[in-house]
Amino acid sequence: MAEAQAFVTLATTDAYSMGCLVVGKSLRRHGTSRKLVAMVSPNVSRASRLALEDVFDEVVVVDVLDSRDKTHLTWLRRPELGVTFTKLHCWTLTQYSKCVFLDADTLVLCNVDELFEYEELSAAPDPGWPDCFNSGVFVFRPSLNTHTQILEHTAQHGSFDGGDQGVLNTFFSDWAVKDIRKHLPFVYNLTAGAIYTYLPAFQQYGHHAKIVHFLGGTKPWHLSYDPQAANESSLRDSSKNFMNLWWVEYYSQRQLQFKKDDKNKDYS
Ligand code: UDP
Ligand code: MN
């Protein structure tokens, strides 16, 4: 049985692979002891893949159309769920016994290796509907059996939100009530929107943030780096600061050693 454990992320475009790069770099910066895996679809450019190979232990090309017959058929029945199906491919990484999936639009702020102490399926509540988990950060156990079951489930029931989160919430449908130990603290999937919807809570607990998730239509790579804003640190601009922190990570050299004190500078 496989013993290794890995962080896994995904890109189906060159833009999202910029995100993957930051996920990988931020995990390395904080000294993870686990393997790093990026899943990419075949259309991702060679240049992007090479950049990822610099940071990740494995860059796995996943193509739903090329995989086993069953997967292929499932895909043909629900072509609109292409990206979602690609994400579900993480269950095929059976060279690892346990993994943590991180969306390409996340940024890791400290060492989060303790996530591997959680069991499948552990995730944080979605801020929009907290009885659903957010599928941007989740702990899972690769298994071809589970993979097939989830694909069958998807083919049958579709996705109520058109993405992987809808699929996974109906598949792991007892998450909300069954076992509180599978509820990751919100600080492992802090969505920038929460800063605005509950500012006092962010003021109280924001400095405990461990993983930021740039959920929604505006991704850090859509905006440009603003060094001016990086030097200001008003709370109201925290979301902007996280965006800048993302760019700092994007441009950082892997071997560059940052002073420990600098780590929380932008959002304290
Ligand atoms: N993704 C991708 N290509 C796409 C859309 C999504 O590779 O065109 C992957 C990527 O890893 C991304 C995840 O699927 O982080 C979920 O999508 P996204 O983060 O955009 O959704 P949100 O978190 O905003 O709901
Ligand atoms: Mn996301």
Phi then psi dihedrals of residue 236, to 5 deg: -60, -25
Residues in the 5 Å CB sphere of ion ligand 2: 103, 105, 136
- The answer to whether 17 and 43 are in contact (CB under 8 A) is no
Tokens of 72: 């292929």
Q: Which DSSP category does 265 fall into?
A: G
ipTM > 0.85 for the complex: yes
Kindly write down the DSSP assignment for every residue of 152-216, as one continuous string.
HHHHHH--TTSSHHHHHHHHTTTTTTS-GGGB--GGGSEETHHHHHTHHHHHHHGGG--EEE--S
* Substitution site in 41, 89, 90, 105 for ligand 1 pocket (most atoms within 8 Å of beta carbon): 105
* Closest residue CA from atom 4 of ligand 1: 12
Report which bound ligand comes closest to the CA of 164: 1
Report which bound ligand comes closest to the CA of 87: 1
Q: How far is the CA of 132 from the centre of ligand 1 (A)?
A: 18
What does the mean pLDDT of the chain come to?
87
Cβ of 207: how many Cβ atoms within 10 Å?
12
Q: How far is the CA of 227 from the centre of ligand 1 (A)?
A: 26
Residue-wise pLDDT tens digits, 13-67: 999 999 999 999 999 999 999 999 999 999 999 999 999 999 999 999 997 654 4
Q: How far is the CA of 22 from the centre of ligand 1 (A)?
A: 14
Stated pTM of the model: 0.90
| Band of pLDDT at residue 106, cut at 50, 70 and 90 | very high
Q: How far is the CA of 260 from the centre of ligand 1 (A)?
A: 31
Q: Give the number of the atom of ligand 1 that is nearest the alpha carbon of residue 16.
A: 7
* pLDDT reported for residue 255: 45
Q: How far is the CA of 136 from the centre of ligand 2 (A)?
A: 5
- Helix or strand (DSSP H, E) at 145: helix 144-157
| Band of pLDDT at residue 154, cut at 50, 70 and 90 | confident
